[in-house]
Structures are given as C-alpha cells and as structure tokens.
C-alpha cells in the first residue's frame, strides 16, 4: 500500500466526484484515497511516471527526491550510457519517495483506470525568500496524454483546495519556466509566484515557486 491521502482531515467523507470531458463521452472521478493505494493504482502511478519522465525538467529519473534543492540539467535514465547508475530503472528513486506522500487520483469511470494523479506533502515549508507558514506542497502532477485537456488537472487542484481549507494550510508547488500550461492554470486558481530562481535548471530555465495562503472552508476565489 502507498501513503494515504487527506490525512489532515478527520472527516471520513466520501470522495467528491467530478464528471469531466462530457463532450467526448468520457467521465472521470476525482478521489482522494483515505486508506492508501492498492497495488493496481500504485502500478498505474508508476507507469504514468515512466511515461512522463522526460517531459519534466530535469527528468524525474535524474532526481533523487521530490523536493531536492538543486535541479541542474541531468540526462534521463534513458539517455545515460550503458553501465551508468540508474540506467534502465526509470524514475525509481523518485517513485520510492513518492510512495510516502498523499495522492489525489483521476479515474476513468468506463475502465476504472487511473489516468492522472496529483501527489502532495503536508506541513511543507518553502525555501528562504518565500512566504513562511505550512503548505500542502504539490510535488507531482501527471495526466495521461490521451486524457489531457479535459479539466482533470484543474479538478485535482480543486480537490486539494478543499483539503487545504480543512487543514488550515496553504497550497504551494514549484515548476519550471517552460511549463506554461501549468503556470497559467495556477494563476487562474489564485496560486501566485512567490519566488523565482533564474537559470536554476539550466540557461534560460528558471524555477518558479508558487503559493497561496490558507483560507477557511467556504471562502470563494
């Protein structure tokens, strides 16, 4: 079993359900498993990580942690030469740490398959130079390419937003300057840039830290 989600809420409320992508005849459930992930869902998360590895900067397989401070350019596991450490393992080290975090899942109702996930850490403190206070820190967001542009990422963030309100924590994450779609969505959700590290991931590739303070349940955007 992987780490359970939504543990800062004592509520045993049933996961809220979103119906997305109706124009295409597809419906998705957005859920936060409260008793950990079973093996099929854990395997689905692993497959999503492997497939999206090189979409990230640097690749997930070049990282040893979901929150490591240094993110200079590194080759992915696929790009490393024969015999180099990590070759052929994919983002295994990254996945090992992810296992202890909390998850929000996007499930296709027709197949019952997990087609996207958002992972997060509780009580996270941002680096020096960013606002203080504890946050629910989003470490990874991945949606299967075949299911993108259906509002899934937004729905997962909205689910996290409700959890953050119950916890009395803010929301925070980081991404890179080329990830424009994610940056745009965060701005729409009121998660603003609070710190930028120029050339942090290579020449011309900045790291953006974004955050929004805590609010109480029922607050509007």
- Domain-embedded: residue 127: yes
Domain tally, the chain: 1
Residue 200 inside a domain? The answer is yes
d(CA 210, CA 131): 10
pTM of the model: 0.84
Spatial separation of the C-alpha atoms in residues 15 and 11, rounded to whole Å: 11
Q: How far apart are CA 190 and CA 179, in angstroms?
A: 17
User: Does residue 2 fall inside a structural domain?
Assistant: no
Beta strands in 22-169, from DSSP E residues, in sequence order: 28-31, 102-108, 114-124, 135-143
Asked whether residue 110 is domain-assigned, the answer is: yes
For 22, other C-beta atoms within 10 Å of its C-beta total: 10
Answer yes or no: is 218 within a domain.
no
The DSSP call for residue 96 is: H
CA torsion sign for 195, 171, 146, 66 is: positive
Mean pLDDT by 10 residues, the chain (221 residues): 50 43 69 87 97 96 92 69 53 94 96 97 92 93 96 97 94 97 97 96 96 71 49
User: Quick check: is 38 in a domain?
Assistant: yes
Q: Is residue 174 part of a domain?
A: yes
Residue 16 near residue 9, CB atoms below 8 Å:
no
| Cis bond upstream, residue 111 (ω within 30) | no
Give me the pLDDT at residue 25, please.
55
Tokens read off for 166:
């119950």
Residues, the chain:
221
pLDDT at 15 (0 to 100) = 40
The DSSP element (H or E) to which 98 belongs, if any, is helix 92-98
- CATH number of the domain enclosing 208: 3.40.630.30
SS3 category, 11:
coil
pLDDT at 30: 96
pLDDT at 85: 41
Residue 200 has what DSSP assignment? B
The pLDDT of residue 21: 54
The whole-angstrom separation of Cα 174 and Cα 188 is 16
Question: What pLDDT, on a 0 to 100 scale, did the predictor assign at position 220?
Answer: 52
Structural domain of 184: 22-65+89-212
DSSP β-bridge partners for residue 135: 124, 170
What pLDDT is stored for residue 36 in this prediction? 80
């Amino acid at each position: 079993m992987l780490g359970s989600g939504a543990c800062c809420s004592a509520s045993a409320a049933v996961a809220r359900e979103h119906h997305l992508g109706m124009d295409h005849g597809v419906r998705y459930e957005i859920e936060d498993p409260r008793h950990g992930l079973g093996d099929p869902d854990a395997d689905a998360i692993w497959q999503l990580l492997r497939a999206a590895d090189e979409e990230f900067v640097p690749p997930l397989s070049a990282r040893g942690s979901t929150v490591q401070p240094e993110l200079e350019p590194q080759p992915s596991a696929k790009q490393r030469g024969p015999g180099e450490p990590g070759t052929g393992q994919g983002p295994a080290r990254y996945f090992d740490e992810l296992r202890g975090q909390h998850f929000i899942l996007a499930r296709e109702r027709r197949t019952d398959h997990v087609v996207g996930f958002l992972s997060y850490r509780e009580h996270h403190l941002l680096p020096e130079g960013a606002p203080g206070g504890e946050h629910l820190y989003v470490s990874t967001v991945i949606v299967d390419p075949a299911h993108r542009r259906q509002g899934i990422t937004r729905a997962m963030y909205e689910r996290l937003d409700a959890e953050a309100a119950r916890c009395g924590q803010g929301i925070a994450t980081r991404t890179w300057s080329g990830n424009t779609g994610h940056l745009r969505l965060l701005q729409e959700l009121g998660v603003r840039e609070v710190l930028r590290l120029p050339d942090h991931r290579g020449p011309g590739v900045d790291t953006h830290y974004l955050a929004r303070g805590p609010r109480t349940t029922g607050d509007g955007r």
